[in-house]
Amino acid sequence: MFFDTHSHFDSFDKDGTVPDILSRAAAAGVTRMCAVGSSEASNDLVVRLAKEYPGVLTAAVGYDRDQLENPRSPERLAALAEEPCVVAVGEIGLDYYYSAETAAEQQELFGQMLEFAGAHRLPVIVHSRYADEDTLRMLGEFSMVWKTAERRAQAERRRANVRSIAPHSSAASEGASATEAAKSFHGVDNPPPPGVLHCFTGDAPFAEALMDLGFMISFAGIVTFNNADPLRAVAREIPEDRLLIETDCPYLTPKPFRGKVNEPAYVVHVAEMLAQVRGTTTETLAAATYANAERLFQREG
């Protein structure tokens, strides 16, 4: 099974092709997708689709860097974030390639979205282009907030479960403390990551800095391109438990479908390329990235 962790459904919905897209994804073994919003309209769309296709689609909502001049409703976004199908805040981030003159405004909006994600305890799906330094600085602040909140949540879970399992815990009866039993039972030593840098195209130092902050790294169709040897070299070294795959459809169509509209079914070709450069099987890579996505989006079990 494959998990496409970043797909845009706006054009598919407009064309009325969502059922066909999902049918082809299922035939290719792509059983889960995260439909990503970035604006008022696309946020509403992805939540609607996730409700229509439960168990197949999840949703991410947020305001991206291209929404500086467009209407934004914090109240509406907050209501969407409370929907059970919403698993992340995104797509959000910084892009100085085309719009360096709006860097300050982008940072302000990005900061608002990071604060929103922290308040709602949702991981972030981040875009960064020609903005590595500012991205790392702002994600570093978010990572500290995330880890502090997670430590508090862990402590509360431990207190609650010590009270509930201490009299009955087999671990306690064998001499282990009830606290240790609670830790083991809830897996609190493996907290969810704060987010993912999607469609990664950076270098190894950027990837390492992101992972030091706890983030995952996601690769899209670019990794299959003929001129992507440097990116494949980075992908080769990402630890298995930090790796994700995506299409970013309808953009960035991977080989061998260059020239066609990208869609979730094609994430299989991203996985195949990553498996090849990492010296593993596609099945192994698919299983690892699927599990990583479930952990990122806190959907285990």
Residue 298 CB burial class (10 angstroms; 0-12, 13-18, ≥19): middle
CA angle 123, 51, 7 (to 5 degrees): 55
pLDDT tens digits, 211-220: 999 999 999 9
Residues 6+ apart with CB under 8 A from 141: 114
The encoded tokens of residue 198 equal 């999607």
The tens digit of pLDDT for each residue in 107-130 reads 999 999 999 999 999 999 999 999
Q: What is the pLDDT of residue 150?
A: 81
Which stretch of 103-107, 147-151, 166-170, 231-235 has the lowest confidence by average pLDDT?
166-170
Backbone angles phi, psi at 281, to 5 degrees: -95, 155
Q: Show the beta-strand stretches assigned E in the chain.
A: 2-7, 30-36, 57-61, 86-95, 124-129, 195-197, 216-219, 243-245
Reply yes or no on whether the pLDDT at 251 is more than 50. yes
Q: What is the pTM of this model?
A: 0.89
CB of 123 closer than 8 Å to CB of 150: no
pLDDT band with cut points at 50, 70 and 90 for residue 156:
confident
pLDDT digits (tens, 9 = 90+) for 49-69: 999 999 999 999 999 999 999
Residue 164 has pLDDT above 70, yes or no: no
pLDDT of residue 180: 36
**What secondary structure letter does DSSP report for 61?**
E
pLDDT cut 90: percent of the chain above it: 82
Task: Note the pLDDT of residue 181.
Answer: 31
Domains located in the chain, CATH noted: 2-296 (3.20.20.140)
pLDDT bin (cut points 50, 70, 90) of residue 170 is very low
Q: How far is CA 220 from CA 196, 198, 252, 268, in A?
A: 13, 8, 7, 10
Q: Cα(300)–Cα(182) distance, rounded to whole angstroms?
A: 18
Q: For residue 228, is pLDDT > 70?
A: yes
Q: What is the DSSP letter of 249?
A: B
Tell me what percent of the residues of the chain surpass a pLDDT of 70: 90
CA dihedral 235, 201, 247, 56 (to 10 degrees): 70
For 146-160, b where at least 16 C-beta lie within 10 A, e where not — what string?
Answer: beeebeeebeebbee
State the pLDDT at residue 155.
80
Looking at every residue in the chain, the average pLDDT score rounds to 91
